[in-house]
Amino acid sequence: MHITGNELAMVSAGVAAIAVAASVWNNKSTNANALAIAREERTSQQQNELTALKRTVYAKCIATAHKLVLAQVDLGVIRQERGQAKSPEDRRLLEEQWRAADRAVDSTVVEAGNAEAELLLIAPESIWRAVTAVYRDMGKTEVDVDATADALLKLRYLMRDDLNSSSPPAPSAPPQPEEPAS
């Protein structure tokens, strides 16, 4: 049997076609794998960035809550001293301290509202509900320091558990304003 030049060229072209098809298939497979790896890396990076952002916002919320508790306690101490002032000079001095402490509480309430707004954007519902409750209770005239400390401890645990969880938070509906208890 004798192979002609045309037959030899056809066999060579067929082998080349098979090689090209295999190369294209291999490139598609390689590209698909590279794409999958890139998606995983991007998802992991986004999760790490979200966790870092949560840490920052959670720390800000807790720090603001502590600042608000201290401002409320200062205001309560001045309120008690104000009622016991005897001389006009003492009353004037306590009135100035009262105004300064009241401004500090008002400023911290604004700061707490800003921290709460940031938190509402990234935190799961359980955390933003707890923060809202803590801030609402601290906005009252008389603050129960023990109850506030317990609420802040619970809040810290919720935040820690959220940061330690590996799954991204499920989207939740924005909070609905609660009616104050009468």
In a domain, residue 33? The reply is: no
How far apart are alpha carbons 49 and 158 in whole angstroms? 19
Q: What is the pLDDT of residue 141?
A: 59
* CATH number, domain containing residue 79: 1.20.120
In a domain, residue 178? The reply is: no
Q: What is the pLDDT of residues 30-72, one digit of tens each?
A: 777 778 888 888 888 888 898 999 999 999 999 988 888 888 8
Q: What is the pLDDT of residues 160-176, one digit of tens each?
A: 999 988 555 444 444 45
In this prediction, residues 103-119 reach a mean pLDDT of: 88
Domain count of the chain? 1
In a domain, residue 133? The reply is: yes
Q: Would you say residue 80 has pLDDT above 60?
A: yes
In a domain, residue 56? The reply is: yes
pLDDT band at 11 (very low <50, low <70, confident <90, very high): confident
3-state SS class at 168: coil
Q: What is the pLDDT of residue 182?
A: 46
In a domain, residue 173? The reply is: no
Global model pTM greater than 0.75? no
Q: What is the pLDDT of residue 171?
A: 45
How far apart are alpha carbons 59 and 67 in whole angstroms? 12
If one counts every other C-beta atom within 10 angstroms of the C-beta of residue 162, the result is 17
| Structural domain span for residue 58 | 50-164
In a domain, residue 58? The reply is: yes
In a domain, residue 118? The reply is: yes
In a domain, residue 16? The reply is: no
3-state SS class at 1: coil
